[in-house]
Structure 1
Amino acid sequence: MSEPIRVLIHGASGRMGRALLRLCAQAPVLAVAGAVSRKPAQRVIDGVPQFAASELSGVPAFDVAIDFSRPEAFDRVLALCVERGVALVSGTTGLGEDQRDALQAAGARIPVLWAANFSLGVAVLAELVERAAHALQGWDCDIVEAHHAGKQDAPSGTALALGAAAGRGGAQPRYASLRAGDIVGEHTVQFATVGERIELVHRASSRDIFARGALHAATRLAARAPGLYRLADLVA
């Protein structure tokens, strides 16, 4: 039996980080090398070494990092992956232009995957949105997204990715955001004209779908050659 893939969870105290740790423990092909958060409560939790963000450079060896943190923490984990020559899977949203440029540059040295959403359903939705925008030239295009009250960026990264898909089809999307309760994630792309309207909708009822997608991507990305990858490249 081959050795498990060693995973570093960056942003371990967040909703996604906690889901990743729980699901990773159930996956024999994966082993958590360490968990990084701003202020861990203990040094070891359920057998997993815990590190503060300030201790990132001292984490043990790993094969792939999974990052669901904040933009201000992203630069350091990207730099660490480049320094150690290991893969990075990131779902951190709200990145600035310089950070996106750094991602592009890192792809020349390590395998990198950034996605606004790790749901296969959303990947299919983006394709449908692009096709609809191409077919419905001149129709109004609006993207409405809803997330839990604690989500800070708006529009969401997924909404912006769907808007980019609409833009590739020739539409000019507008955005509306709702932050309330514990909504996991809902995205509606509406095309409207006089007398008719089309809605394409994706609703997530569990954050586990995103964590499972990220773990699946990590298992596939760890052994890949350097480059920039899409979730669709690693699904099959």
Structure 2
Amino acid sequence: MTATGESDAAGPTRLAITGATGRMGEELLAEAADRDDATVALATSRTPEDGPLEGVELDSEAEFPTLLGERDVDVLVDFTVPEPCVEAVEAAANAGVGAVVGTTGFDSSETAALRAASEQTPLLKAANFARGVQALLQIVGDAAAAMEGYDAELIETHHNGKRDAPSGTAKAILQEVEAARESTENAASDGADASGNRVHGREGTAPREDDEIGVHAVRAGDITGIHEVLLAGNDEELRLTHRAEDRGVFAAGALDAAVWLDGRPSGWYDFSDVLGGE
């Protein structure tokens, strides 16, 4: 896939991929193998003996900080879990290596640590690297504002191994709806938790309040990801749905982001920056 941004560095962007034997790690390795603008210089795993994958030898994650410099890495791409992700990003920042973060589920202190790292190195964090999700985020606020007073529900569905609920993408969608309606004073930034008027599932006697947003997280099978926003009222309903059929779409977007980020100044970036061509 052609990257949406041009790297300032000569030659392909040299990547470090953490969690290489995980669901997204393997997708990232496969995507990189098909590209000319990026190459995997370092891939780490808790189980490096499971390699090589896509022709790439695996190293132990314990060696990650040392190998960053030895392998001349340009950008880290991390889709793991919060604590090791923060550790990897901090190591990257100390080494002057950029970071693309697709991990979700951070608490406030972990988000603060990522923010601090972005003062040392370019860091791009996104809850979702699918272009269709970015389009959904752009239009859902307009829809919620236009349908003032309508009931709002969000249903998100992922595979049975998904750790955080609701998903980072769901939280980003909720923020757009809440901002459009001004229905909560603490619509969080950067995917941090904020309850606002969100109701997570319903049980027993639970009459709906006018300004609440129902949030429903479904976990089953190997479903890649479905996000649906329902706005209903005035004898009509609008459903906005994004369905990811394959994790490869996230890997492609993440590597587009890594190539775009290579050579950028320190700071905090979002996937929308990549698609905007800034």
Instruction: Tell me the amino acid that sits aligned with residue 20 of structure 2.
Output: A
Mapping of residues 120-139 of structure 1, within 5 Å:
120-139=131-150
> 1:81-114 CA distances to partner (integer Å, 9 max, x unpaired)?
1101111001101111111112222222211111
Instruction: Tell me the amino acid that sits aligned with residue 209 of structure 1.
Output: V
Partner residue, 1:70: 81
Instruction: Tell me the amino acid that sits aligned with residue 160 of structure 2.
Output: A
The answer as to whether partners of 2:65 and 2:92 remain within 8 angstroms in 1 is no
* Paired residue total: 236
Displacement of 1:157 in angstroms is 0.8
The answer as to whether partners of 2:93 and 2:118 remain within 8 angstroms in 1 is no
Partner residue, 1:196: 236
Partner residue, 2:248: 208
RMSD of aligned alpha carbons: 1.6
Paired residue secondary structure (1:153): coil
Which of 10, 18, 22 aligns to 2:18? It is 10
Partner residue, 1:37: 45
Structure 1 or 2: more strand by fraction? 1
TM-score when normalising by structure 1: 0.94
Displacement of 1:69 in angstroms is 0.3
Partner residue, 1:112: 123
Paired residue secondary structure (2:48): coil
Paired residue secondary structure (1:216): helix
Return the alpha-carbon distance in structure 2 between the equivalents of residues 119 and 110 of structure 1: 24
Partner residue, 1:57: 65
Partner residue, 1:103: 114
> 1:1-31 CA distances to partner (integer Å, 9 max, x unpaired)?
9422110001111111101101101112211
Displacement of 1:174 in angstroms is 2.5
Partner residue, 2:33: 25
Return the alpha-carbon distance in structure 1 between the equivalents of residues 117 and 103 of structure 2: 16
Return the alpha-carbon distance in structure 1 between the equivalents of residues 121 and 49 of structure 2: 32
Paired residue secondary structure (1:169): helix
Mapping of residues 221-236 of structure 1, within 5 Å:
221-235=261-275, 236=277
The answer as to whether partners of 2:25 and 2:79 remain within 8 angstroms in 1 is yes
2:182 is the counterpart of 1:163:
no
Displacement of 1:46 in angstroms is 4.7
Return the alpha-carbon distance in structure 1 between the equivalents of residues 118 and 132 of structure 2: 26
> 1:63-90 CA distances to partner (integer Å, 9 max, x unpaired)?
0000000112112111111101111001
Return the alpha-carbon distance in structure 1 between the equivalents of residues 62 and 94 of structure 2: 17
The answer as to whether partners of 1:33 and 1:49 remain within 8 angstroms in 2 is no
Return the alpha-carbon distance in structure 1 between the equivalents of residues 90 and 10 of structure 2: 28
Return the alpha-carbon distance in structure 2 between the equivalents of residues 78 and 105 of structure 1: 10
Residue identity (%):
39
Pair 1:158–1:46, CA change in 2 (3 A): closer
Structure 2 unmatched ranges of 5 or more: 1-8, 184-196, 198-212
Return the alpha-carbon distance in structure 1 between the equivalents of residues 37 and 132 of structure 2: 24
Question: Which structure is richer in relative contact order (CA contacts within 8 A, separation 6 or more)?
Answer: 2
Paired residue secondary structure (1:188): strand
Question: In terms of Rg, which structure is larger?
Answer: 2
Which of 83, 87, 105 aligns to 1:94? It is 105
Instruction: Tell me the amino acid that sits aligned with residue 167 of structure 1.
Output: E
Paired residue secondary structure (1:95): coil
Return the alpha-carbon distance in structure 2 between the equivalents of residues 50 and 114 of structure 1: 25
Structure 1 unmatched ranges of 5 or more: none
Return the alpha-carbon distance in structure 1 between the equivalents of residues 173 and 54 of structure 2: 38
Instruction: Tell me the amino acid that sits aligned with residue 32 of structure 1.
Output: V
